[in-house]
Amino acid sequence: MADGIKWIGEGQRVPLSFCPHCNAELDGCSGIDNDARPDPGDFTICIECGAVAAFSRGLRLRRLTKREQREVAGDERVLAGVRAVLDARGKKHC
Ligand SMILES: [Zn+2]
């Protein structure tokens, strides 16, 4: 498993929404190092493209604000999650 991730939490159902980057249909998520259900404002990583999005009110996905993009850039767990998805997908890191 990628550096910075100890375990992946239980799968959780969320309302169907679409990745704001690749338009993949997404209706589930798993916590990184926790089993918690996501809250609005939590970050998530698209399992299809590895892009980071955030949960809106109603737990649908939205693009990050500029401020959130800066926050994510320094969050080792998010970066490790992105690397793990990209490795699994065989894509090059960006
Ligand atoms: Zn995506």
Ligand 1 center to 48 CA (angstroms): 5
Phi first, then psi, for residue 17 (nearest 5°) are -150, 180
Please calculate the CA angle 11-73-25 and round it to the nearest 5 degrees: 35
Q: Is residue 54 within 8 Å of 43, Cβ to Cβ?
A: yes
State the amino acid at position 35 in one-letter form: D
- Whether 27 shows a pLDDT value over 90: the answer reads yes
The residues, any chain, with a CB within 8 Å of residue 94's CB and separated by 6 or more, are none
Distance 36 CA to ligand 1 centre (A): 22
Q: What is the mean pLDDT of the chain?
A: 90
Q: What is the pTM of this model?
A: 0.85
Alpha carbon of 37 to ligand 1 centroid (Å): 20
Q: What is the Å distance from ligand 1's center to 66 Cα?
A: 18
| pLDDT value for 28 | 93
| pLDDT exceeds cutoff 70 at 94 | no
**Average pLDDT estimate for 73-87:** 90
Q: What is the 3-state secondary structure (H, E, C) of 51-94?
A: CEEEECCCCCEECCCHHHHHHHHCCHHHHHHHHHHHHHHCCCCC
Q: Do β-strands 61-62 and 8-18 pair in parallel, antiparallel, or remain unpaired?
A: unpaired
Q: For the chain, what are the domain ranges?
A: 8-89
Q: Residue 71 Cα, ligand 1 centroid: separation in angstroms?
A: 19
